[in-house]
Structure 1
Amino acid sequence: MKVAAVAFSVLGTGLLGFAYGLAVWAGMPANPLATLGMLLGYSGALIKLALMVLGLQLIAILAVAVPRLLKPSVDPDRSLLTVFSFLPPGVGLAASLLDGLTILNVMQRTNTTSLMVIAPSLAEAIMPLALGLLIGALAAVALVRLGLPQRQASQ
């Protein structure tokens, strides 16, 4: 699970940086908060729905992990954290793929080939995957911090 935590963190940060760089290159403001606000404001319903689901999953991860991290006597539910470490990247990947297919469909209908034109849409499509990976990394880090399940040795 340590490998998953590191991989999710690195990939999520890299994809979020790539989406931000792509949006700035396409002419959005260089202020990070303004750019992310514009990406959220102008994104489609699918991306907004995926980001709301990811937000709810983040709240659920915090509700499961924080009490166990603060009070070690509480028995952690490792299986729930394991599910939550892989569920957000899956939701983000599904939303990104569906939005990417929509972008591809629109490109074919309008005969658009300029990356400058489709870059903001690509940045919007990458954002759920990046945030899903970062949220999954949070659950994986909490799982590692709580300790991996102890396997009893057969004697």
Structure 2
Amino acid sequence: MTRTKVIGGQVGRASINFKGLAHEAYPSTLPFYNLSRGNMQVFIGDVVVMKDPEKPSDCIVRRLAAVEGYEMASKNEKDEPFILEKDQCWVLSDDESLKPKEARDSRLFGPLPMSDILGRVIYAMRSAVDHGPVQNSHLAMGKDTSVLSVELDVDEMAKNLKT
């Protein structure tokens, strides 16, 4: 049910505040609950792995902020509000200080297809001593606890860390 993705550099650093990990650290290894299996769902507030809109062979990690039916309004009064259409989503970086170009989220790309989401990140590991569950939506956290207890092997993940 879970897959592991190695994410680093600016892709990982700009995306998500992985609470519980050391300050300024970004995870190297991210197990995620695979969307293509079963009927796994993602919820607003979840950290997701998705295809990079500019380079679909790569992945980015962002937080799901809105889904179809949500009205999107800008702080810029010149921008007209719009409603996300069927199978569209809006993702954001947790770092609000970043400009859209730096954050590489929906403020730059606009609405993205839900089909680009590969899964929900459930755990983050920077090192053998710096790791922990990812803070997702309450709905997801309840579901992820059982997956983590059955499938997560921290020792194996630590052995496979890329340095």
Query: Is this a same-fold pair by TM over 0.5?
Result: no
**If the length of structure 2 is used for normalisation, what is the TM-score?**
0.21
User: Which has the greater radius of gyration?
Assistant: 1
Higher relative contact order structure (alpha carbons within 8 Å, sequence separation ≥ 6): 1
Higher helix share: 1
**If the length of structure 1 is used for normalisation, what is the TM-score?**
0.22
Higher strand share: 2
